[in-house]
Amino acid sequence: MKKVLVALTVLLTVAGFASANTIDVNSTAASNGTYGLEVNYDGAASLAYVQSSNSGGNPHPWSDETGIKISFIIDPGGQQTNPGQMTMGNPGNVRIVNLFEGFIAQGVRVVLFLKKGEDVDTWRFAAYVREDGTGYKFAGEGYLTGLQAYSATLVEIEWKASSAPGANDGYIKATRTLQGGGGFPTFTIFDKQGLDNDTHVLNIMRLGSPSTNEVGAPAGSCYLDDVSIVRLP
């Protein structure tokens, strides 16, 4: 990888589950530079993820973050260079891979899903967030690569807690930019404003296969590269 934020620590497979899903660092997954992250799915409900650190010797420790920006290049389908890279095995109109989580000890606050419809052969992102005193709220959904041929795509996500009780100015938004040269424009995937989430903070971020609630029995590999997670002011 050309860059991986120093706040990303050891690749983990959580004990207690079969070590089926894995993450490898290899050249095949590299969109830029020499190496990338290859998240390998085999249809099993097991965890494999990269985690940010909020303790220890990390020079950028995480502690009650009220705003983050995560960016990465993703290639879930691989039709350009690796045909048939990742598939979804179970029937159904909505097939979901849990790709990203942000959470604290009291529970997950941000979830990002990679989705693919049975009748729409295009990958999509969908986000859910928690608000004060409520459960999860749908934050939006949009195409990852549009209706064009699959390509590696730069995705940038921003999450921000609201500034004060009653301010309701929190938000989560995401954009996508196709890679591969040619000066592709940047499009909005979703943009959810007006969140009431001033009591919510993030201490740990996970990227990869961070949950066992996947739908669709994903099999194959999802490529990630140039992963970066930074604080928002």
Assess if residue 224 is contained within a domain.
Answer: yes
Mean pLDDT in residue range 11-36? 69
Assess if residue 76 is contained within a domain.
Answer: yes
Assess if residue 180 is contained within a domain.
Answer: yes
Window from 34-38, 61-65, 201-205 with minimum mean pLDDT: 61-65
Assess if residue 1 is contained within a domain.
Answer: no
pLDDT (0 to 100) of residue 87: 72
Concatenated DSSP letters of 148-200: S----EEEEEEEE--SSTTT--EEEEEEEEE-SSS-PPEEEEEEEEEE--TT-
Cα distances from 117 to residues 89, 121, 136, 177, 206, in angstroms, run: 12, 6, 22, 21, 24
- 172 forms bridges with which residues in the sheet? 159, 192
Mean pLDDT in residue range 27-33? 84
Q: Output the CA torsion sign for 89, 95, 101, 106.
A: negative
CATH number of the domain at 112, please: 2.60.120.200
Closest CA to 40 of 87, 103, 81, 3: 87
Q: pLDDT at residue 115 above 70? A: yes
Alpha-carbon gap, residue 193 to 25, rounded angstroms: 36
CB 177 within 8 A of CB 153: yes
Assess if residue 3 is contained within a domain.
Answer: no
Number of domains the chain contains: 1
Query: Tokens 């004990």 — which residue?
Result: 15
Assess if residue 200 is contained within a domain.
Answer: yes
Alpha-carbon gap, residue 116 to 143, rounded angstroms: 9
Backbone φ and ψ of 124, nearest 5° = -135, 155
Closest CA to 115 of 129, 97, 101, 133: 97
Assess if residue 2 is contained within a domain.
Answer: no
Summarize pLDDT for 38-60 with one digit per residue, the tens: 888 887 777 888 877 655 555 45
Summarize pLDDT for 73-88 with one digit per residue, the tens: 888 865 444 444 677 6
| pTM, entire model | 0.84
Domain of 227 in residue numbering reads as: 8-231
Alpha-carbon gap, residue 175 to 154, rounded angstroms: 8
